[in-house]
Structure 1
Amino acid sequence: MIPRFDASEFNGITPEMRDAFERDGVLVLDGLVSAEMCALLQNRMNEMVKGFDAREHRSVFSSTSEAHAQDQYFLESGHEIRFFMEEEAFGADGQLTKPLHLALNKVGHAMHDLDETFSQFARQDRFRLICRGLGQKKPLPLQSMYIFKQPHIGGEVVCHQDATYLRTEPESCLGLWVAIEDATTENGCLWGIPGGHKTGGIREAFRRAQDGDGTYTERLDDTPFEEDKKVPLEAPKGTVLVFGGKFPHMSSANRSDKSRHAYTLHVIDGSAHYPADNWLRRPPRLPLKAL
């Protein structure tokens, strides 16, 4: 069983936390974020959604298809704030079958640098303590996402490793996954494979094509994920799940009548090399800023 830690009075990574992270590949910190802060992020996202014109952009995000990866709207999202729809949000006629706020899959990927509310949240002292306590010398927030996991249509996310998409040499990616709402087995919580970061290497590399206009996935390691060993990572509102780039995790579709909002911040170590063929590229006008 993956241990849980009461982090309501968190002021640094303890030896017990570090041991759990190194053994399991994931750290469960209950109560790290207050209910008031969760509400603040949710309200700010509601404001952002109200200002989005769905008629202008129809980009769909799916972890089972790479069609979105060839979309310039997606490829430019590393330095913008972009909105992505659920696959099941559109009918056969191409029109939305749900109100906009119930049709979005996620918003990403640079709001931690471009939106004041999310920037202040991402750069809090507790997150800096987590990243440094788990070995990062120069924590650099690279991407962030607000994930809706909509009622009835929230899509499946297949088993994957974050280092597939955000590679450094040596591998240094940390994901901080914040439960904005309760995440349960009913509404599509994350599942992970304890110790799976030690079995095999990084399975795939998601790369930019040399011309910069497309992407492709290269298979690096054929070792299968041991999905029969996966366990649910249920997370009450305010819980933060911290996992390394090699930790295999996934989530099932949400067929319940409850949404599962979450905010994810991915942080890399600025002392590591960031290969130029990563999909996420920042223009000189928006360099990465320290945590």
Structure 2
Amino acid sequence: MTGLTQSQLDTFHSEGMLCIEDFLTPEQTSKLLAQSKHLLEQCDLSTHPKTTFKTSDEDHIGDRYFYESADKISYFFDTDAFDKNGDLTIELSKSINKIGHGLHIEDPLFKEITFDGKVKDIAQDLKFGQPKVLQSMCIFKQPVGTKSPTTERDNAVPPHNDATFLFTTPQTAIGFWIALEDCTEENGCLSYIPGTHKTYPVSKRFVRKDGLNSGCTFEQLLEDKPIEGDYKMVPCKAGSLILIHNSVLHKSEKNKSEKSRYAYAFHVIDGVADYDKKNWLQVPYEGGSDFSRLY
């Protein structure tokens, strides 16, 4: 097994993001893509709430179905999936934004990839003391044309850093983002501002308002700093791994193409850091951080 080269480590520490091509074999990638599609077909609206996934400060989801998803396979919908009456505007399998957050626990194929030796080697190279996987998810950007040939889907992800949602003291979260299909500028590949993990402080965190009683909200820690700098696109082939630093600013645009963009992502935190009860994601739900040990 091999982890990261010194050049890759230098790039990651300097820029806050690193793309590693051919991380998965074509066979592994094909199996995960097929399983993602299979899971999409298993969604039953009679048993799953119509919870949409939003990332803006003003309007973020925070119901019980969302923050009790750490060890389950849960379904979250695009913001344009339902009309004002709660009826689907598009076919069910094309309306889902992501499936999470316990795929690494409940699905054998995703568990195998998450706990693969190559992942462990990278965590060791990044100097994790007690690495823990706290969430995993399939992320879907469906193509245009699923409603009509001229309609754009509402699936852009605005600028953010992961530490806002996965807050530890000190900050330790690292995103492992794996492309299951080719990612292009047209279908919504990731982009980031290199170096912002060093210059853009974590100014807020996403927390539970009142235990399990009042949903979630953003807690302001510092005054927001104006975002400056040019975004760097990260197009990549299926099977590529993108490592994402907890504090680097990144985003993705709408899928403006006729090709979907499917990805599998999970996050690792260091168990030696403090993960407090205010964080939205908890296992067990009444507090603590009994997440899955990577090694």
Q: Distance in 2 between matches of 1:127 and 1:55?
A: 37
Q: Distance in 2 between matches of 1:267 and 1:245?
A: 10
Q: Distance in 1 between matches of 2:60 and 2:118?
A: 34
On the 8 A contact 2:57/2:218 being kept in 1, the answer is: no
Note the C-alpha offset of 1:154: 5.0
On the 8 A contact 1:154/1:255 being kept in 2, the answer is: no
Q: TM-score, normalised by structure 1?
A: 0.91
Correspondence 1:47-126 to 2 at 5 A: 47-56=38-47, 57-64=49-56, 67=59, 69-126=61-118
Q: Is it true that 1:218 corresponds to 2:219 in the alignment?
A: yes
Q: Is it true that 1:277 corresponds to 2:269 in the alignment?
A: no
**Number of aligned residues:** 282
Query: Is the helix fraction higher in 1 or 2?
Result: 1
Instruction: Tell me which moved more, 206-215 or 64-73.
Output: 64-73
Q: Distance in 1 between matches of 2:50 and 2:235?
A: 31
Which residue type is aligned with residue 183 of structure 2?
A: A
Q: Distance in 2 between matches of 1:207 and 1:266?
A: 17
Q: Give the secondary structure class of the aligned counterpart of 2:75.
A: strand
Quick one: percent identity of the two aligned structures?
34
Please list the CA deviations of residues 140-187 of structure 1 after superposition, one character each: whole Å capped at 9, or x if unmatched.
111011001111225111100101011111110000100000111100
Seen in structure 2, the aligned counterparts of structure 1 residues 159 and 227 have a Cα distance that, compared at 3 Å, is farther
Note the C-alpha offset of 1:215: 1.3
Q: Give the secondary structure class of the aligned counterpart of 1:238.
A: coil
Instruction: Tell me which moved more, 59-68 or 228-237.
Output: 59-68
Task: Choose from 9, 20, 25 the match for 2:16.
Answer: 25
Which residue type is aligned with residue 159 of structure 1?
A: P
On the 8 A contact 2:56/2:158 being kept in 1, the answer is: yes
Q: Give the secondary structure class of the aligned counterpart of 2:80.
A: helix
Note the C-alpha offset of 1:91: 3.3
Note the C-alpha offset of 1:99: 1.8
On the 8 A contact 2:208/2:279 being kept in 1, the answer is: yes
Unaligned runs of 5+ in 1: 1-9
Q: Distance in 2 between matches of 1:273 and 1:43?
A: 37
Q: Distance in 1 between matches of 2:97 and 2:61?
A: 15
Q: Distance in 2 between matches of 1:64 and 1:169?
A: 24
Q: Distance in 1 between matches of 2:237 and 2:211?
A: 44
On the 8 A contact 2:64/2:212 being kept in 1, the answer is: no
Q: Distance in 2 between matches of 1:21 and 1:117?
A: 28
| Aligned residue in 1 for 2:131 | 139
Which residue type is aligned with residue 100 of structure 2?
A: G
On the 8 A contact 1:90/1:97 being kept in 2, the answer is: yes
Note the C-alpha offset of 1:283: 1.7
RMSD between aligned residues: 1.9
Note the C-alpha offset of 1:40: 0.7
Q: TM-score, normalised by structure 2?
A: 0.90
Q: Is it true that 1:11 corresponds to 2:11 in the alignment?
A: no
| Aligned residue in 1 for 2:147 | none
